[in-house]
Amino acid sequence: MQKYTIGFTNLSEDADFSIAVRESLEVAVAAYPNLSLVCLDNRMDDECALQNAQTLADMDVDLAIIYHINERIGPKLRNILNSKAIPIISVDIPIQFTSYFGVNNDEAGRLAGLELAQWVNAHWDGQVDKVLAIVESRVLDAVRGRIEQAVKVLSEHVALNTNDVLYIDSGNVHDLTLARVIPVLERWSSLQHIVVLGFNEESTLGALEAITLVGREDRVIVVGQGATKNGLQRLADANSPLLATTLYSPDAYGQHLVELAQRLFAGERIPAKNYVDLNVYTRAMVARA
């Protein structure tokens, strides 16, 4: 039986979601005796990601699975690996001219926007004073769709002026989100109907902490993206302003990625876009569980 080595450079070993992705990949690879796995941590740092790509190229792995936050350096990562003719699957943040596996961001945004619109129409008579959209400046149009589509769908169903949407960069981390959301909420202290759109679980949890610290739980509603255990725990709290979160099931990434890898190793062409199943978990669903 021919053996293959898969190289995986992970987004960060400090974020629950990407840790879960790496763990699921380790479990999936372990089920196949002809596969071995090398895992490296990109640490959400460009120089580290480039060095990791070079390490995989030097090892001459049979497949590189790349999960890195900065979409702008995707061509550099690709070129390093292409120099050794190593095929690439990009995870969640697309790299041009590679196969993609991850979130359908437009659909994730659409689902978030619909949940918000239904709640706002039912509880705030369709009125929204401001939307705080938490984003990540290192990703481009494809990933931004999860926020842009949420704003678009919300504006189609409620009384929202798009000039009342404020975008802030989360840095993809909890603490920076917390530090940036607090002053915004303090400036909006007189407003009664504020919507917050989280970019990922880390930014959503940071925003939730900021809301609690400034005492705005009764005036703010939040929808998150990509929740894992911590986000679902917040949904279970009846006093939390978190209304819903999309679930990308990071524990399922590994098996999907290994299936794509096996198809590549068998000489098949795999689709350019491969999406994880999406679900929305709401406060009401958790309460019924």
**Tokens at 98, concatenated:** 């590679």
The residue written with tokens 């609690």 in the block is 212
Q: How many domains does the chain have?
A: 2
Q: Do 171 and 115 share a structural domain? A: yes
Residue 289: what pLDDT?
Answer: 61
Residues in contact with 137: Cβ distance below 8 Å, sequence separation at least 6, in sequence order: 169
Residue 81: what pLDDT?
Answer: 99
* CATH code of the domain in which 32 resides: 3.40.50.2300
**Tokens at 161, concatenated:** 């002026």
pLDDT tens across 83-127, in order? 999 999 999 999 999 999 999 999 999 999 999 999 999 999 999
Q: Do 261 and 235 share a structural domain? A: no
Q: Do 145 and 211 share a structural domain? A: yes
Q: Do 47 and 124 share a structural domain? A: no
Q: Do 242 and 119 share a structural domain? A: yes
Does some domain include residue 289?
no
Q: Do 233 and 264 share a structural domain? A: no
Q: Are 133 and 197 in contact (CB under 8 A)?
A: yes
Using 70 as the pLDDT threshold, list the residues of the chain that sit under it: 289
Using DSSP, state whether 274 is helix, strand or coil: strand
User: What distance in Å separates the CA atoms of residue 130 and residue 163, rounded to the nearest whole number?
Assistant: 9
- For 222, the enclosing helix (H) or strand (E) is strand 220-225
Q: Do 243 and 222 share a structural domain? A: yes
Q: Do 131 and 22 share a structural domain? A: no
Q: Do 178 and 137 share a structural domain? A: yes
pTM for this predicted structure:
0.91
Does some domain include residue 282?
no
Residue 104: what pLDDT?
Answer: 95
Q: Do 226 and 109 share a structural domain? A: yes
Q: 227 lies in which domain range?
A: 105-247
- For 179, the enclosing helix (H) or strand (E) is helix 174-187
The sheet with strand 130-135 has its strands ordered as: 165-169, 130-135, 194-197, 220-225, 242-247, 279-282
Does some domain include residue 283?
no
Q: Do 10 and 91 share a structural domain? A: yes
- For 254, the enclosing helix (H) or strand (E) is helix 253-265
